[in-house]
Structures are given as structure tokens and as C-alpha cells.
């Protein structure tokens, strides 16, 4: 089988050049109108799982990963978007040694990207270092991955817990608490979902602050060094132990 495939007259990709795999598809390196991009290939049967895809086409900002075009065949749907070289987690762990904006500019770019998302009445539901991408183009800029990660807010500016997919270590404490309460209610058979609408702009800003700390310390989470410590300190002690250590409170 040839490694090169055509998704449409404007999109080509290499089946052997896999950039990543997700719940609903595979991401390849490819070309769109001669420009190097990332191509997400999704089986048509899973395409309905990706909501608001046309809204993502309308999002245009230098500090978000832009969805450029959607094409489809009988078997697949293809999404072409900005190609990144690595992500913030790779940089903080020393796996990426390429160019970066200076620290102040990097944090400003993250904040601008999130501000733009919020201006479109959206909440980011999986804000974490791996979803802060480093652009391939120079000058290097940071871009927040949005496709499949953002949800439109409901009345009052909230997103339902049932629509979230955020990683535990980067969820605001009030959301962790609500998730735990919901699990307890389900255990006792209480189907009341009145407490679901919780994740908000403020929750995103809390996570952004944690990302700033992670970036400035090159890989330290403010609430601990491993998942169990982070979850314990966020939900029980409510103490950002690494932050307190850095500023001399411990």
C-alpha cells in the first residue's frame, strides 16, 4: 500500500507519518494547498461525536491552533489545522530545545489565546501543558489547541460536567469537588443534575495560573510532584505546596 494518500484535491498526507492518536481518529503530517499541516482523520461513523466543528472554522487568532478546512470522503472526514513542533510540556521537561518566546511574552500569548476563546463564549475543557502547542513557523508563538477541547457555554457562562474531558491535575478545585459530589450522588442513585453546570471562565483562569507556574519553574505543578499528591493537595489540604516552597512559606 502506498504511504501517500489524498484526502481531497487540496489535502494529502503520509500514512506512515503519524503525529498522534485520539479517541476518534489519527493525526498525520500532511499538506493543505502546499502548506505543511496536521491532518486529523476520523471515520465517518465517529464524526458526529465532534460537535460544533463549523464553529471552530470561524476561530482565528495567532495564539490558538487554527482549524483550516474540513474535507471528507465516503469513509473518512479530514480536519487540517496548524502544525506544531512540540508542546509546553515537552519544553518544560527539556525534550524541546528549539526557539521560544521569552517568558513574559510566552505567558502573554497563553493569556491572549484564552481570552480570545472566552470572547467567543467558549470554555476550554482540557487546558493543560500538552495542549499548549509550539508553532512550527517563526517567529515562534504558543498556540492553545481548541479543536475538540472547547465547549460553548450555557446560560450563566458555565459548561456541564458531563461535557468535560479535562485532566484531573489541571482542574480547578471547585470542579474537582463537584465531580466528587456527583459521583457520590450516582452511587446512591440520585439522578438530580442541578449541580452539574459548574466549569466556567474562572475555572479556566485558575488553570492558567497553574500553567504559568509550571512554565516558569520548568515543570513543577504548584500542588505537588505527582498525581496523587496533586489531587490530595487540591481537594483536601487546598495547599499549593510547591508554590509556598518557592516563595518561602514553608
Which of 125, 169, 174 shows the shortest CA–CA distance to 150? 125
- In the structure grid, which three cell numbers stand for residue 174, read together? 471547585
40 is in an annotated binding site: yes
Which of 36, 34, 31, 38 shows the shortest CA–CA distance to 12? 31
- How far apart CA 174 and CA 70 sit, in angstroms, is 36
Which of 161, 88, 96 shows the shortest CA–CA distance to 127? 88
134 to 92, 125, 130, 171, 218: CA distances (angstroms)? 12, 20, 10, 22, 15
Residue list, annotated binding site for ATP? 40
Residue list, annotated binding site? 40
Amino acid at each position: 500500500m502506498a504511504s501517500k494518500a489524498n484526502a481531497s484535491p487540496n489535502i494529502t498526507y503520509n500514512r506512515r507519518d503519524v503525529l498522534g492518536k485520539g479517541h476518534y481518529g489519527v493525526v498525520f503530517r500532511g499538506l493543505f494547498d502546499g502548506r505543511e499541516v496536521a491532518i486529523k482523520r476520523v471515520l465517518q461513523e465517529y464524526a458526529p461525536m465532534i460537535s460544533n466543528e463549523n464553529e471552530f472554522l470561524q476561530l482565528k487568532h495567532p495564539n490558538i491552533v487554527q482549524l483550516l478546512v474540513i474535507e471528507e470522503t465516503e469513509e473518512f472526514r479530514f480536519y487540517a489545522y496548524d502544525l506544531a513542533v512540540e508542546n509546553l510540556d515537552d519544553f518544560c521537561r527539556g525534550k524541546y530545545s528549539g526557539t521560544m518566546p521569552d517568558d513574559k511574552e510566552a505567558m502573554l500569548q497563553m493569556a491572549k489565546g484564552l481570552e480570545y476563546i472566552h470572547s467567543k463564549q467558549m470554555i476550554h475543557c482540557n487546558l493543560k501543558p500538552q495542549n499548549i502547542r509550539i508553532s512550527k513557523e517563526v517567529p515562534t508563538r504558543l498556540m492553545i489547541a481548541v479543536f475538540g477541547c472547547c465547549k460553548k457555554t450555557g446560560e450563566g457562562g458555565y459548561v456541564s460536567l458531563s461535557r468535560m474531558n479535562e485532566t484531573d491535575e489541571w482542574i480547578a478545585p471547585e470542579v474537582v469537588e463537584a465531580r466528587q459530589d456527583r459521583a457520590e450522588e450516582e452511587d446512591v442513585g440520585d439522578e438530580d443534575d442541578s449541580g452539574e453546570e459548574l466549569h466556567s471562565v474562572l475555572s479556566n483562569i485558575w488553570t492558567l495560573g497553574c500553567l504559568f507556574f509550571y512554565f516558569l519553574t520548568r515543570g513543577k505543578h504548584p500542588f505537588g510532584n505527582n498525581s496523587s499528591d496533586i489531587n490530595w493537595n487540591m481537594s483536601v489540604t487546598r495547599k499549593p505546596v510547591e508554590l509556598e516552597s518557592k516563595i518561602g512559606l514553608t
